[in-house]
Amino acid sequence: MQSATVTPTDHQLPQTLEPRNPGMALDLDWVRRAQANTSAIERRAKTLPGRRSVKKDYQAAWMLKAITCIDLTTLSGDDTEGRVRRLCAKARQPVSADILAKLGMPNLTTGAVCVYHDMVPTAVHALAGTGIPVAAVSTGFPAGLSPFHLRVAEIGESVTAGAEEIDIVITRRHVLQGNWQALYDEMKAFREACGNAHVKAILATGELGTLRNVARASLVCMMAGADFIKTSTGKESVNATLPVSLVMIRAIRDYYDRTGFRVGYKPAGGISKAKDAVTYLALMKDELGDRWLQPDLFRFGASSLLGDLERQLDHHVGGAYSASYRHALA
């Protein structure tokens, strides 16, 4: 069991509060036993928003919690240092100070900032002293089809550049071909390359074909030592959905029941409304428990979600529906 040193600057990293998932031997029986009944899962996902509702101060608190779980993200070909510095500024002050003051929650920040490798130094510099970690997407993101040794090397480069979290992409081919051993080996190699940096495995669920594949890939990645499992790159045509999330967090629950190690969850892409964020938090609370509602075990991969959360908080504080131009851009 590895455990990183706890320092005031990395309070939002999983390994600071929990022993890190060391992984385990590939258990193919378990992997192949995993089932996911699509219709039943969709029914559960569909009724959840109607079953759970938070109002007034509770709603505000939940929205603030959602903000602390955001990996504020920019992953565009036209990213520049200036753009990334703006994003980092927003991560440090995600909601206007007066609104936060009224809610009694000053000093709130997002969970992390997520960028491409080239932007890591800029982000690390911009966030120095804030405790907000920088996450780098890696391993030939988003398709993950560059030479394997380069993908491994890319992780090392990003860690050296100061990224404390690495979002790797898996080779979807291994899942589609049922080559679980290859997936396991790949994930294990990525994890090793990360060293003390914390690793999120992006499954690209929109490209895995079936929910059953999602369940099995989730298990294999956890067995190979993933600290987090994450739905999507944000570049697939279908990104995070509630049914996919159910499958992945149920796999996390099974893994915890079996090993005692908590693995984090990150839905990414397509979550842009405050109401959706609250539903995701309820899903985590109901399926995994309160422990998984903290940023060390739960993150949203999102760029536009913050804007809606901010507007809704403004409404909560002021009583009137807000306009987006009243809130600072990222």
**Positions 16 through 35 that interact with other proteins (CB under 8 A):** 35
- Maximum distance among all Cα pairs of the chain, rounded to whole angstroms: 56
Taking the mean position of all CA atoms in its chain, how far away is CA 170?
A: 15
Candidates 15, 21, 62, 183; binder of other proteins (CB under 8 A) is 62
Active site residue 167: yes
- Using CA atoms, how far residue 78 sits from 67, 74, 84, 151, in Å, is 25, 10, 11, 22
- Give me 208's structure tokens: 């895995």
Catalytic residue among 10, 167, 276, 314: 167
Residues comprising the chain, all counted: 330
Taking the mean position of all CA atoms in its chain, how far away is CA 43?
A: 24
- What's the min distance (Å) between Cβ of 250 and other proteins? 5
Does position 293 interact with other proteins (CB under 8 A)? The reply is yes
Compute φ and ψ for 128, nearest 5 degrees. -55, 130
Would you say 24 or 105 has its CB closer to other proteins? 105
Would you say 230 or 250 has its CB closer to other proteins? 250
Does position 85 interact with other proteins (CB under 8 A)? The reply is no
Does position 53 interact with other proteins (CB under 8 A)? The reply is yes
161 and 121 Cβ atoms separated by less than 8 Å? yes
Does position 57 interact with other proteins (CB under 8 A)? The reply is yes
Does position 2 interact with other proteins (CB under 8 A)? The reply is no
For residue 259, give the nearest of 35, 67, 21 by alpha carbon.
Answer: 21
Catalytic residue among 90, 235, 266, 314: 266
Question: Sign of dihedral through CA atoms 289, 16, 245, 273?
Answer: positive
**165 bridge partner residues:** 135, 198
Angle, CA of 95, 101 and 106, to the nearest 5°: 70
Would you say 273 or 285 has its CB closer to other proteins? 285
Q: Which residue has the tokens 């009243």?
A: 326
Binding window for other proteins (CB under 8 A); candidates: 8-16, 173-181, 188-196, 281-289: 281-289
Does position 147 interact with other proteins (CB under 8 A)? The reply is no
Candidates 86, 117, 285, 315; binder of other proteins (CB under 8 A) is 285
Does position 328 interact with other proteins (CB under 8 A)? The reply is no
Mask of contacts with other proteins, 97-126, x by CB under 8 A? ------xxx---------------------
**Helix, strand counts (H, E) of the chain:** 14, 8
Binding window for other proteins (CB under 8 A); candidates: 37-45, 135-143, 171-179, 199-207: 37-45
Q: Which residue has the tokens 């600290």?
A: 227
Binding site for other proteins (CB under 8 A): 35-44, 47, 50-58, 60-62, 64-65, 103-105, 210-212, 246, 250, 281-282, 285-286, 290, 293
So which residues are the catalytic ones? 167, 230, 266
